[in-house]
Amino acid sequence: MKEEEKKKDEKLWWTVGLILVIQGFGAGITDLVWRHPFGLPALAIHYGAPTWITWVVGALGVAAVAWAIYREGQPKKAAASR
């Protein structure tokens, strides 16, 4: 993978991860405090998903951010050999 493509890939993982963290944990916290979630998890709950789906979305966001951190820490030679 070219260096430019690797940077785009890392930015994508960071962006997706942070959006999922905010959507998931933010909706979960607002649901606990005000009994009213927001965002995509709120739509999922409205259409029948269990309320714990917000925490799953947040955890997926943490996993995506962790993957982005892992990818940034890889040496350039290891990334080029894939």
Q: How confident is the model at residue 8 (pLDDT cuts 50, 70, 90)?
A: confident
Mean pLDDT of 23-43: 92
Please check the confidence at residue 40 and state whether its pLDDT lies above 60: yes
Residue 75 corresponds to which amino acid?
Answer: P
Average pLDDT over residues 53-63: 96
Question: What pLDDT score does 77 carry?
Answer: 60
CA distance 60 to 81: 27
Q: Which of 30, 33, 22 is nearest to 62 (CA)?
A: 22
Average pLDDT over residues 56-68: 96
Separation in Å, CA 67 to CA 10, 15, 80: 9, 12, 17
Determine how many CB atoms are found less than 10 A away from the CB of residue 59: 14
